[in-house]
Chain A
Amino acid sequence: MEPVEVKVSDLNVWIGGSHILKGVSMKAPPGAVTAVMGPSGSGKSTLIRVINRLIDLIPGARVEGKVLLGSLDALRADPYEVRRRTGMVFQEPNPFPHMTIYDNVAIGPRIHGLARGEELDRLVEWALKMAHLWDEVKDRLRDYPHQLSGGQKQRLSLARALALKPRVLLLDEPTANIDPVSTVKIERSIMEYAKTTMATVIIVTHTPQQAARISDHILFIYQGRVVEYGPTREVVLHPRHDLTRKFLGGEV
């Protein structure tokens, strides 16, 4: 599978009359983690929901601009095709409560007819290992997720997304409500997935610390506008913009 660069140009989004994203342009290269950071309400979540077209589900949303996933024009393409190539992890852990742990991971490959039988077993194992959850659940794959802790549920959500081997992985503050041990495991998974499969990973975070720990590039958004974009080291150590400096210092 070939690497896919995500390229957003001059993106404007309105939801019910309010202008959420104002001319956002950005790039996220394959094989790397790009962190989108900014205070809450700055439009970070909206940005990644445009990339996988979940924005279509929000009533009254209007989108202008261009989003490219490699050569795929995401805003013109069939939304189901776009979502199939992208994976997403949400802020709230949301494994399907009526499906077993195994089925939660297998559902994606199943609905797209990608694997079955032993091949599917191997894929499920691979995804759970990639999400650093395998050792904790390998003996209870037939159990339901309500017996898992919040952090384990989130890693199961991650495994569900990974099972489709998405070329683009989107994460919307995946560790905001998660215990520190699971947070470390999720961060490690994300970095490993990007490096080993040359996937493009975009993670929304509201903590500069997380951005600094795991990302290769940082995009800082404030009130719907891009304030600063660059390699993580540069943005953290030598922010060019005053707002960035304040955000990093916890003042915004």
Chain B
Amino acid sequence: MPDWRRVKDRLFTAATVALALLAVAPLFHILATVVVRGGSVILRGGVSFFTDPPAYPGSGELGGVGPALLGTLWLGLVTSLIGVPLALLTAIYIVEYREGRLARVARVFTSSLLEVPTVLIGMLVFLVVVVPMGRYSLAAGSIALAIVMLPYTVSYVERALEGVPRTYREAGYSIGMTRAQVVFQVVMGIASRGVAAGILIGVAKVLSETAPLLFTIGSARGSYPTGPQSLLEPGDALPLLIFQFAQTPYSNWQDLAWGAALLLTLIILAIFTLLRLLFREVKL
């Protein structure tokens, strides 16, 4: 007579494994496809893939994603310049000045921002920045991305600050530190890894965002943003290029989209590797 309990146990285990595989299969499929198709494009293009502008559609030549790559790097930098100080000060206010009513309002608002579709944020910036300026610009894109970044970075930094035990704050006050000295010399110092993680997570998040850019940066395929003055000009970005080129019928542009997809994945991967390294050793 078969042992039914054992049979049922085996069946259940097999079902669990199968479903788990099913869940991670899409991830592997995406990664594998991006690596294989994007990898061959980047190898074919060589250095000029990273530097050149896209070739004419349907020309049979490849060109590159130079302007979009540079645009993405500029967006990352300017978004951080706007978003990081804002997010840090917001998180500090929420955690260290929690007795104020405004701090509670700030907390509710930033966490609600997480639920606003990013395309709406793009539309808002379109109305408030692009229309008055009369043109698309990298600056407008950075403002939109900074708003997207805010709730992520705020919530990570908030948790990092809250994780600092009260006794260190008391120690700071006990030697006569002011509140600002306690926040910046003690709490931020102890929470520095968590703060850095919050910043990196925010940056990684916005670098791959497409929706906030749709209405804000235009798609200046051929122009290189070389200096700060280019911030007021339209620009391009990797996710936007992927979104638009993938939908065209031109095979050389589709190839560029695959290459850009791999490039973007590698950038994000690099940021998360940095995060891992940062978190390997935490000692309190």
Contacts and interface: CB of A to CB of B under 8 A. Distances in A.
A98 B165 CA distance: 13
Interface in B120-178: 165, 167-178
Contact of A90 (B170, B181, B192): B170
B175 A87 contact: yes
Contact of B176 (A57, A99, A164): A164
A96 B174 contact: no
Contacts of B192: 98
Nearest to A91: B167
Interface residues of B, number: 22
Interface string A105-147: 0011001100000000000000000000000000000001010
B96 to A, nearest CB: 11
A186 interface: no
Contact of A54 (B165, B174, B189): B174
A96 B172 CA distance: 9
A80 B179 CA distance: 10
A146 B167 contact: no
B173 A83 contact: yes
Contacts of A146: 283-284
B211 interface: no
Contacts of A87: 174-175
Interface in A84-109: 84, 86-88, 90, 92, 94, 96-99, 107-108
Given A96-B186, A98-B190, A111 B171 contact: no
A157 interface: yes
Nearest to B191: A98
B189 A94 contact: no
B186 A57 contact: no
Of B175, B192, B284, the most chain A CB neighbours within 10 A belong to: B175
Nearest to B171: A94
Nearest to B177: A111
Interface string B239-259: 000000000000000000000
Contacts, number: 69
A44 to B, nearest CB: 16
Contacts of B168: 94, 96-97
Contacts of B178: 80
B99 interface: yes
Given A96-B186, A96-B189, A97-B283, A90 B171 contact: yes
A97 B284 contact: yes
A88 B167 CA distance: 11
Contacts of B177: 80, 111
B281 to A, nearest CB: 10
Contact of A108 (B99, B175, B190, B284): B175
Contacts of A144: 283
Contacts of B165: 92, 94
Interface of B: 99, 165, 167-178, 181, 185-186, 189-190, 192, 283-284
Interface of A: 52, 54, 57, 59, 80-81, 83-84, 86-88, 90, 92, 94, 96-99, 107-108, 111-112, 144, 146, 157, 160-161, 164
The 7 closest A-B pairs by CB, nearest first: A84-B176, A88-B174, A98-B189, A108-B175, A94-B167, A146-B283, A83-B176
19 contacts: A52-B174, A54-B170, A57-B170, A83-B175, A88-B171, A88-B174, A90-B170, A90-B174, A94-B165, A94-B170, A94-B171, A96-B168, A97-B168, A97-B190, A98-B189, A146-B284, A157-B171, A160-B171, A161-B174
